[in-house]
Amino acid sequence: MSKRTIIPFGPQHPVLPEPIQLRLVMEEERVVEALPAIGYIHRGLEKLVEKKDFNQCVFLAERVCGICSFLHSVTYSQGIEEMMSVAVPDRAKFLRLIWGEIHRVHSHLLWLGLLADSFGFENVFMHAWRCREKVLDLMEKTAGHRVMLGTCCVGGVRRDITDEGLAEVLRVVDELQKEFDEFVPVVLNDYSIKQRTIGVGKLTKEQAAELGAVGPVARASGIARDFRETGYAAYGQVGFKIVTATSGDCYARIQVRCGEMYECLEMIRRAVKALPAGAINVAVKGNPSGEVVSRVEQPRGEVVYYLKGNGTKNLERMRIRTPTFANLAPLLAMLPGCELADVPVIVLSIDPCISCTER
């Protein structure tokens, strides 16, 4: 056995947007084991629900993540609505779906750019982020803010999209489709990208199931599981197709996320066409009481909110299980056996969101 050394990967590393440390046990250039250390950006958001009114906590939930922010507020609001037996108007459900899918496109484009950056492909990075800029502008036009939409509330949504706004959504969706048609085949067929991702960071279907992988990581290993299947919000009425791949490597994760971007655009088109008229929210009276588990499919996978109310305006407990936390164990299974130069690509391939994980 050759001599083993430990190389710290992070918490500050050029490819990491957020701090996490992986202590890599190395044998020459090969990783033998990875030991994670988290806890660099814990903010105590879960504790804050005890101090704030449950309506104000929608904004708090939204700030758990700076990328899939809207979907956090949807998960929280759906939980409170279930606890208080509030029937959300159909239009609000469709608007939640539209904004949710716009968020997914922006998150996947951000990820594609960061992944390309991790293996030094700056062109793809800039191209993906230029496309993402259109999505961010669309969010600002329809919701008033680029990332923190702030449009979800308990009982529905706080803001409607006008007919002109919906026309703009369709125009941007068509524009994005053209952009994707142009550069997604290039990304998927590029020699350098294939060299850096095919066969790298493999996770078998059995490993993914055993370790509890969620979202695109699980789907890239051949597990066709997506929480949107349950039909929450308007997903049951709009319908969607689960995108999967079978090889379970970094390339499969690119395939799944690129496929999902197309699927998102299709869903937005269908939702805009089927958008019902009517109210966008209902008045919510009283305070939440009881326990509920609320789940939503985020860009990175399934997020779980446990909420406990005691009949007062403040919740007693909120517990969040984020998708990156679930994907950390699969990540540690992907790393052994890989070369040190492939570690950034594998880490980025799970689309880590550490500030979500630590809340």
Partner 1 sequence: MANMIKRVFSNLFGRPATRLYPFTRREPFVGSRGRLQNDIDKCIFCGMCQRRCPTDAIVVGKKPDKSWTFDRYRCIVCGYCVEVCPVKCLSLDPKHGD
Which has the closest alpha carbon to 114: 103, 125, 130, 104? Answer: 125
Q: How far is CA 75 from CA 27, 174, 209, 255, in A?
A: 44, 28, 24, 27
Place of tokens 């779980």: 304
Minimum gap (Å) between residue 66 Cβ and partner 1? 12
Stretches 6-14, 39-47, 145-153, 199-207: which one binds partner 1 (CB under 8 A)?
145-153
Q: Which is nearer to partner 1, 152 or 208 (CB)?
A: 152
If one asks whether residue 56 binds partner 1 (CB under 8 A), the answer comes out as yes
> What is the residue type of 63?
R
Minimum gap (Å) between residue 186 Cβ and partner 1? 6
257 Cα distance to chain centroid: 11
C-alpha to C-alpha distance for 255 and 237, rounded to whole angstroms: 26
Candidates 60, 64, 211, 220; binder of partner 1 (CB under 8 A) is 60
If one asks whether residue 145 binds partner 1 (CB under 8 A), the answer comes out as yes
Stretches 6-14, 56-64, 112-120, 196-204: which one binds partner 1 (CB under 8 A)?
56-64
Place of tokens 């046990």: 25
Candidates 121, 183, 227, 251; binder of partner 1 (CB under 8 A) is 183
Q: Which is nearer to partner 1, 27 or 140 (CB)?
A: 140
C-alpha to C-alpha distance for 258 and 243, rounded to whole angstroms: 9
If one asks whether residue 133 binds partner 1 (CB under 8 A), the answer comes out as yes
Residue 235 tokens read as: 């997903």
Under DSSP, is residue 196 helix (H, G, I), strand (E, B) or coil? helix
If one asks whether residue 354 binds partner 1 (CB under 8 A), the answer comes out as no
Candidates 182, 210, 229, 291; binder of partner 1 (CB under 8 A) is 182
Q: Which is nearer to partner 1, 26 or 65 (CB)?
A: 65
Strands 156-157 and 315-321: unpaired
If one asks whether residue 140 binds partner 1 (CB under 8 A), the answer comes out as yes
Which has the closest alpha carbon to 78: 156, 149, 148, 151? Answer: 156
Q: Which residues bind partner 1 (CB under 8 A)?
A: 52, 55-57, 59-60, 63, 127, 130, 133, 137, 140-141, 144-145, 148, 150, 158, 181-183, 185-186, 189
